[in-house]
Amino acid sequence: DTAVSQTPKYLVTQMGNDKSIKCEQNLGHDTMYWYKQDSKKFLKIMFSYNNKELIINETVPNRFSPKSPDKAHLNLHINSLELGDSAVYFCASSSRTSGYEQYFGPGTRLTVT
């Protein structure tokens, strides 16, 4: 059973388009995250939700909008895609009881042309 899953795995789109990435976890965790990993492998947190409430919102363009319909799902919608948005986006989940150890999804490689 996949603990943290993301769809799609690959996403190729043109500048100006709007796209969404979906994430689901079946670990019973109460906290979920979106990270962006750039071409140099730097990993930066973007957002975090705890029980459907936004608790971390780093300096991210407002073209990026997360949505958590329930605590097992966290989606990321990106408007007006730009070349610089090309990266790998990882979803993760954790819980306080496990010291916020991060469980990562397989990643979505977004390429904007």
Q: List interacting residues with another protein (CB under 8 A).
A: 31, 41-45, 48, 50, 55-56, 90, 94, 96, 99-102, 104-107
b/e map of 42-61 (b: 16 or more CB within 10 Å)? eeebbbbbbeeeeeeeeeee
Q: How many residues does the chain have?
A: 113
Q: Which is nearer to another protein, 91 or 112 (CB)?
A: 91
User: Nearest approach, Cβ of 37 to another protein (angstroms)?
Assistant: 9
Query: Which secondary structure element, helix H or strand E, spans residue 5, and what is its range?
Result: strand 4-7
- Distance from CA of residue 74 to its chain's centroid? 7
26 or 79: CB nearest another protein: 26
Least CB distance from residue 104 to another protein, whole Å? 4
Give the nearest distance from C-beta 25 to another protein in angstroms. Answer: 13
Report d(CA 91, CA 71) in Å as an integer.
Answer: 13
Query: Smaller CB distance to another protein: residue 22 or 106?
Result: 106
Nearer to another protein, 75 or 108 (CB): 108
If DSSP codes are grouped into helix, strand and coil, which group holds residue 48? Answer: strand
Minimal distance in Å, beta carbon 109 to another protein?
Answer: 10
